[in-house]
Amino acid sequence: MWISLLGLSFFVLSSDYKKSMLQEIYYLCRHVNMTYTDGMTMPTYERKFFVNMLIEEFNKKNEQIEKQNNKIRR
């Protein structure tokens, strides 16, 4: 916690949280074509929703690729 010039303390986000938030925004910008501003102004629950949907989509694609590879190997 930091103390301001007024002597009041306030909450500061940890550097770990900031790093994970920026990583989420990076992936959304890269794969969903959102802007950095969109990611920064988006409420946390919405950002998490989009990240989770992206993860599910990647998992499904990976499963399909594995099935295709298993068919080819046989």
List per-residue pLDDT tens for the chain, 74 residues long: 555 555 556 677 788 899 999 999 999 999 999 999 999 999 999 999 999 999 999 999 999 999 999 888 87
Ordered by start, the domain boundaries in the chain are 15-73
Q: Give the integer Cα–Cα distance in Å for 28 and 54.
A: 8
- pLDDT, residue 12, reads 75
Contact status, residue 45 vs residue 24, Cβ threshold 8 Å: no
Q: Give the integer Cα–Cα distance in Å for 51 and 48.
A: 5
Contact status, residue 3 vs residue 9, Cβ threshold 8 Å: yes
- pLDDT, residue 38, reads 95
- pLDDT, residue 13, reads 76
- Give the predicted TM-score (pTM) of the model: 0.73
